[in-house]
Structure 1
Amino acid sequence: MTPEEVLPDQLLEDIRSRAARYDRENAFFTEDLEELTAAGYLKLFVPTSDGGLGLGLEAAAQCQRRLATAAPATALAINMHLVWTGVAQVLAARGDVSLDFVLQDAGRGEIFAFGNSEAGNDSVLFDSKTAAVPLPGGGYSFTGTKIFTSLSPAWTRLGIFGKDSQAREGDGELVHGFIDRETPGYTVLDDWDTLGMRASQSNTTVLDGVEVPADRIFRKLPVGPNADPLIFAIFACFESLLAAVYTGIGERALVLGVEAVQRRTSFKNAGRSYAQDPDIRWKVAEAAMGMDSLYPHLLEVTRDVDALAEHGSQWLPKLVGLKVNATETARRVVDLAIRVSGGSSYFRGSELERLYRDVLAGMFHPSDDESAHNTVANAWLGPLET
């Protein structure tokens, strides 16, 4: 299916029509979620045999790019559900069925969210500040604080991880599992009041001894970087789908900038269109060239994931490089679009003003600019000497 078939124009316009209100009211995208669920959008990665659309990462990323042109915060939050279902699909394509239950649950209408991020944890997936304590029977209890938990008002399954500090002879072990909405022992704080991406309602989640049964513990990994397929799958889906959202933001900003330039006229130049101003034309061209380099980058990386391409040690640099390219390019394009659109874009309620705030969130998602450059430098030059 094409993105246009998955997200018909009318559905996209309905979603676009609500985005400003959600942002203004700092409200969750309830109606968007209901309509996307009804359209089967949350089942992009779910096999057709389980009632889904059976898409791969390339097609899903293009759908997310399209959705983000209408409502970036909605797309960003939906990303977190798609990350988990995408991880399950990427693993299954490589013969690992450990997360097939995620696809089956999603096929039955469950909504997944990503509860891994922790304040001050720059090790991201390779260590955790959350304590995971073994329980009789193979389960674990988790105590810690997770930030940026998108879909907080709606998720029914939350993926979390923590560290069992006593495992592996005291070296520690990272334990991954899922909790249900009904599981006691966690609290969702009402603390999402941010500059942008407001409709995502990515509230803080406090885990206070929340228990995960043995059948929902799906990975136990050593602390530190490792080559487990789960790590690849999370990076592949998280970075690519983030890149798709920010590509959509840049795409929309360019369209709005072009429309503004064609609409504006110059009093100084006898009412001529700003589309005839050489300086304005240069800025529009700069934005367009940035986007033209980003579209094939997104396609190439996601297509390689689907094709089981072998990039070895270059896979992680490719994924973090895509994310940084997308978020930084989108930020430059939004800035250029505002520059050519005039002072009206500075007012609250302008779509470009909202995109300007939304696009800034890209610098905070992992991998951040510093981490990504370090990853790529290590791949090409080796680690720093100690």
Structure 2
Amino acid sequence: MTDAFDPSAHLPDDLLGRIRARAAGVDRDNVFPDADLDELRAAGYLSILVPAELGGAGLSLEQASVLQQRLATAAPATALAVNMHLVWTAVAKILRERGDDALEFVQRGSADGRVYAFGISEPDNDLVLFGSTTDAVPSGGGYAFTGTKIFTSLAPVWTSLGVHGLDSSDPDSPRLVFAFLDGRDGVVTRDDWDTVGMRGSQSRTTELHAATAPAERVVRTLSLESAPDVLQFGIFAAFELLLASVYAGIACRAIELAAAAVSARTSLKTGAPRREDPLVRARIGGMAIDYDGIALELAALTRDLDDAVDHGARWFGLLSGMKHRAVTVAARIVDEALVAAGGSSFRNASELSRLSRDVRAGIFHPSSPDSAQQTAAAAWLD
């Protein structure tokens, strides 16, 4: 990323301020941030990763990561919801840069304002991208999908849903199918998102009842025995890095709030500002050091992906490790910020209180902590 990149050109300060001002109400009312999405779409944010020749901003993944961190400092739930759209545009970019235009329709649709949601996660599917509990039945050249998807961010507003399922029509050669639904026929969206945090993402459960993707929206059919396809790699890479970006943004905002809180307080014992207390400075300093580590690692890995650096089999461990570090470090930073800010941060009106709930969602996104650790261990033990 060049020094000339200006995040405010794509996410202006005034827009960020309006999103921040709405965040508490969205969380309190447990609703989707429709106004945020409308303004972001009007600003061209949904197509930041789409090539300029297809109507987008043509940004790199590294630049998009910076923007998602910036958005998350204002409204983590909005950033998480938009993330799932950006994942698909990032995958389209990764494929296109490797000579594969299978997702060009996603790029063109994003430039036109369409919203692409992520319908991959399933109950009890620890294979995630490499298996599915959803049935994919051949239908008129396309596929009809029947199954249940969970954590479907953007559930109330998507115009197209990327899904996968298992085609078992040939029992000797079952195949994974990746496709996009361009409408809601056969789709039931449950109104079941009542969670501790990330309430505005409205990541509701989605039921598919023979929901059909036409032939032109079937992106891949893959053997279960094949090595990871570039599509699977692209989804995994984009998902982990953009997800980590959201939690890095939460960590950054927590430090800002903690610094503001200690700067506004004075010790009754010493009469000195709390910011001058060596213990307080050590706490803030530790938070800053932790944050720098995940921010710099994010920059390095997104840049490597942009530059098509070949980490070979190490990529999956690096990506899952990045996500794991980002969410665990962000949670630790928020906890430290609560201590630094004092008892007022325990009130619901406190932004730190909301961040303390939002950051807990990180452990539930793939890769799980156990999965990330097993992937890392394989590089040393297998």
- Fold match (TM-score > 0.5): yes
| Structure-1 residue corresponding to 2:241 | 240
| Structure-1 residue corresponding to 2:48 | 44
Where in structure 2 are the equivalents of 1:152-231 lying within 5 Å? 152-167=155-170, 169-181=171-183, 183-223=184-224, 226-231=227-232
Letter in 1 for 2:283: K
Q: Aligned-pair distance for 1:268?
A: 2.8
Q: Matched residues in 2 for 1:109 and 1:41: separation?
A: 9
Paired-residue identity, %? 52
SS of corresponding position for 2:165:
strand
Q: Aligned-pair distance for 1:266?
A: 2.0
Cα distance 1:149–1:224, how it changes in 2: closer, same or farther (>3 A)? farther
| Larger CA deviation: 342-351 vs 43-52 | 43-52
Q: Aligned-pair distance for 1:50?
A: 1.8
Q: Aligned-pair distance for 1:108?
A: 1.6
| Structure-1 residue corresponding to 2:282 | 282
Q: Aligned-pair distance for 1:344?
A: 0.3
Which one of the candidate residues 112, 115, 122 is aligned to 1:111? 115
Letter in 1 for 2:345: S
Q: Matched residues in 2 for 1:31 and 1:139: separation?
A: 35
1:45-82 deviation per Cα after TM superposition (whole angstroms, max 9, x unaligned): 11111211011211111110110000000000000000
| Structure-1 residue corresponding to 2:318 | 318
| Structure-2 residue corresponding to 1:142 | 145
Q: Aligned-pair distance for 1:224?
A: 5.9
Q: Matched residues in 2 for 1:260 and 1:212: separation?
A: 52
SS of corresponding position for 2:313:
helix
SS of corresponding position for 1:349:
coil
| Structure-1 residue corresponding to 2:334 | 334
1:148-183 deviation per Cα after TM superposition (whole angstroms, max 9, x unaligned): 10011111000011111233x5342111110123x4
Length, aligned pairs only: 378
Q: Aligned-pair distance for 1:4?
A: 1.7
Q: Aligned-pair distance for 1:235?
A: 1.1
| Structure-1 residue corresponding to 2:356 | 356
Which one of the candidate residues 74, 95, 101 is aligned to 1:97? 101
Unaligned runs of 5+ in 2: none
| Structure-1 residue corresponding to 2:130 | 126
Q: Matched residues in 2 for 1:12 and 1:143: separation?
A: 39
Q: Matched residues in 2 for 1:9 and 1:267: separation?
A: 37
SS of corresponding position for 1:234:
helix
| Structure-2 residue corresponding to 1:19 | 23
Runs of 4 or more consecutive aligned structure 1 residues displaced over 6 Å after TM superposition:
none
Under a length normalisation based on structure 1, what TM-score does the superposition of the two structures give? 0.96
Where in structure 2 are the equivalents of 1:245-324 lying within 5 Å? 245-269=246-270, 271-324=271-324
| Structure-1 residue corresponding to 2:69 | 65
SS of corresponding position for 1:175:
strand
Q: Matched residues in 2 for 1:242 and 1:100: separation?
A: 23
What CA RMSD, in Å, does the superposition of the two structures yield over aligned residues? 1.2
Letter in 1 for 2:145: F
Q: Is the 8 A contact 1:321 1:372 kept in 2?
A: yes
Q: Aligned-pair distance for 1:263?
A: 1.1
1:114-163 deviation per Cα after TM superposition (whole angstroms, max 9, x unaligned): 0010111111111111111112x321111100011001111100001111
Q: Matched residues in 2 for 1:225 and 1:155: separation?
A: 31
Q: Aligned-pair distance for 1:109?
A: 1.4
Cα distance 1:84–1:57, how it changes in 2: closer, same or farther (>3 A)? same
SS of corresponding position for 1:266:
coil
Q: Matched residues in 2 for 1:144 and 1:218: separation?
A: 19
| Structure-2 residue corresponding to 1:344 | 344
Q: Matched residues in 2 for 1:199 and 1:363: separation?
A: 18
Q: Is the 8 A contact 1:127 1:224 kept in 2?
A: no
Q: Matched residues in 2 for 1:276 and 1:107: separation?
A: 50
Q: Aligned-pair distance for 1:279?
A: 2.1
1:330-382 deviation per Cα after TM superposition (whole angstroms, max 9, x unaligned): 11110100011100000112100000000000001000111011111112221
SS of corresponding position for 1:220:
strand
Q: Is the 8 A contact 1:126 1:224 kept in 2?
A: no
Q: Is the 8 A contact 1:175 1:219 kept in 2?
A: yes
Q: Matched residues in 2 for 1:27 and 1:266: separation?
A: 40
Q: Is the 8 A contact 2:44 2:111 kept in 1?
A: no
SS of corresponding position for 1:176:
strand
SS of corresponding position for 1:170:
coil
Unaligned runs of 5+ in 1: none
